[in-house]
Amino acid sequence: MKLGLRIWILIIALIISLLAINPLLAFNSGVVVKSVEKNSSAFDSGLRDGEVIVSINGEPIKSKEDYGRFMEEFFKDGQMKKIEIATKKDTYLFFANETPKITVDNLPKTRIQTGLDLRGGARALVQPNGTLTDSQLEDLISVSRNRFNVYGLSDVQIRGVSDLEGNKYMLIEVAGATPADLEKLVAQQGKFEAKIGNESVFHSGKQDITSICKNDARCAGIRSCSETSGGYQCSFDFLVYLTPEAAERHALITKNISLDETGKYLSEKLYLYVDDVEVSSLFISSDLKGKAETQISIQGYGVGSSQEEAYNEAKKEMNHLQTILQTGSLPYKLTIVKLDTISPTLGSEFSKNIIIAGAVSLLVVSIIIFVKYRKIKSSLALLFTSFSELVIILGVAAFIKWNLDLPSIAGILATIGTGVDSQIVILDEARKDITISLKERIKRALFVVFAAYATSVASLIPLGWAGAGLFKGFAITTIIGITVGVFISRPAFAEIIRKIEEE
Partner 1 sequence: MENNSKISELGRIYDKYYKLLLVLPAILIILAIGYFVYFNSHEGDIIYKDVSLTGGTTISVFDEKADVSIIKEKLKTKFPDVIVREISDIRSGRQRGFFVESKAQPDELKKEIEGVLGYELNSKNSSIEFSGSSLSQGFYQQLKNAVIASFLLMSWVIFFVFVESKKIKAYTLMISASGVVLALQNVSFVKIFGGIIIFGGFVASLFSLEKKKRDFLISFGIVVASLIAYIYPKEIFLFLIVAVLIYFYAKHSVPSIAVIGCAFADIVLTIVVANLLKMQLSSAGIVALLMLIGYSVDTDVLLTTRVLKHKEESLNKRIFGAFKTGITMTLTSIGAIGVALIFTYSLSDTLRQIFSILLIGLFFDMFNTWVTNAAILKMYAEGKKIS
To the nearest whole angstrom, how small is the minimum distance from the Cβ of residue 32 to partner 1?
20
Q: Could you give the CA distance from residue 177 to residue 180 in angstroms, rounded to a whole number? A: 9
To the nearest whole angstrom, how small is the minimum distance from the Cβ of residue 291 to partner 1?
49
When the beta carbons of 17 and 478 are compared against partner 1, the nearer one is 478
Q: At what angle do helices 5-21 and 376-399 cross, to 10 degrees?
A: 50
Site for partner 1 in 342-381 (CB under 8 A): 342-343, 345-346, 349-350, 353-354, 356-358, 360-362, 364-365, 367-369, 372
138 in contact with partner 1 (CB under 8 A) = no
Cα–Cα distance list, 208 to 23, 188, 201, 295 (Å): 56, 18, 9, 12
Contacts 24+ apart (CB under 8 A), 17-20: 17/391, 17/392, 17/394, 17/395, 17/396, 17/398, 17/399, 18/391, 18/395, 19/395, 20/111, 20/395, 20/396, 20/398, 20/399
436 in contact with partner 1 (CB under 8 A) = yes
Q: Could you give the CA distance from residue 271 to residue 283 in angstroms, rounded to a whole number? A: 9
When the beta carbons of 201 and 382 are compared against partner 1, the nearer one is 382
To the nearest whole angstrom, how small is the minimum distance from the Cβ of residue 74 to partner 1?
23
To the nearest whole angstrom, how small is the minimum distance from the Cβ of residue 497 to partner 1?
14
Among the listed residues 51, 66, 105, 117, the single contact to partner 1 using CB under 8 A: 117
418 in contact with partner 1 (CB under 8 A) = yes
Angle, CA 373 vertex, CA 368 and CA 377 arms, to 5°: 105
Among the listed residues 17, 41, 127, 329, the single contact to partner 1 using CB under 8 A: 127
24 in contact with partner 1 (CB under 8 A) = no
What's the one-letter identity of residue 249? R
451 in contact with partner 1 (CB under 8 A) = yes
When the beta carbons of 63 and 167 are compared against partner 1, the nearer one is 167
295 in contact with partner 1 (CB under 8 A) = no
| Chain centroid, CA 240 distance in Å | 33
11 in contact with partner 1 (CB under 8 A) = no
385 in contact with partner 1 (CB under 8 A) = no
452 in contact with partner 1 (CB under 8 A) = yes
Q: What are phi and psi of 359, to 5 degrees?
A: -65, -45
When the beta carbons of 118 and 310 are compared against partner 1, the nearer one is 118
Among the listed residues 44, 59, 199, 428, the single contact to partner 1 using CB under 8 A: 428
Angle, CA 198 vertex, CA 195 and CA 201 arms, to 5°: 30
To the nearest whole angstrom, how small is the minimum distance from the Cβ of residue 180 to partner 1?
7
Q: Could you give the CA distance from residue 228 to residue 304 in angstroms, rounded to a whole number? A: 10
When the beta carbons of 259 and 356 are compared against partner 1, the nearer one is 356
Applying CB under 8 A, which part among 49-57, 270-278, 311-319, 401-409 lies near partner 1?
Answer: 401-409
416 in contact with partner 1 (CB under 8 A) = yes
439 in contact with partner 1 (CB under 8 A) = no
Q: How many residues bind partner 1 (CB under 8 A)?
A: 84
408 in contact with partner 1 (CB under 8 A) = no
Cβ–Cβ < 8 Å for 47, 85? yes
To the nearest whole angstrom, how small is the minimum distance from the Cβ of residue 21 to partner 1?
22
When the beta carbons of 219 and 342 are compared against partner 1, the nearer one is 342
- Provide the CB-side half-sphere exposure for 276 (13 A, CA): 0
Angle, CA 175 vertex, CA 173 and CA 180 arms, to 5°: 80
288 in contact with partner 1 (CB under 8 A) = no
Cβ–Cβ < 8 Å for 101, 36? yes
Among the listed residues 107, 161, 219, 424, the single contact to partner 1 using CB under 8 A: 424
Among the listed residues 410, 487, 499, 500, the single contact to partner 1 using CB under 8 A: 410
- Write b or e for each residue in 381-405: b if 16 or more Cβ atoms lie within 10 A of its Cβ, otherwise e: bbbbbbebbbbbbbbbbbeeebbbb
| Chain centroid, CA 231 distance in Å | 32
Q: Could you give the CA distance from residue 421 to residue 439 in angstroms, rounded to a whole number? A: 20
To the nearest whole angstrom, how small is the minimum distance from the Cβ of residue 126 to partner 1?
11
Among the listed residues 50, 231, 331, 417, the single contact to partner 1 using CB under 8 A: 417
When the beta carbons of 78 and 130 are compared against partner 1, the nearer one is 130
Site for partner 1 in 312-341 (CB under 8 A): 335-341
Site for partner 1 in 85-104 (CB under 8 A): none
Closest CA to 497 of 447, 449, 442: 442
Site for partner 1 in 457-476 (CB under 8 A): 458-463, 465-468, 470-471, 474
Question: What residues are paired with 209 via a beta bridge?
Answer: 242
Coil/strand/helix, residue 302: strand
Site for partner 1 in 162-221 (CB under 8 A): 163-167, 177-178, 180
Q: Could you give the CA distance from residue 7 to residue 490 in angstroms, rounded to a whole number? A: 10
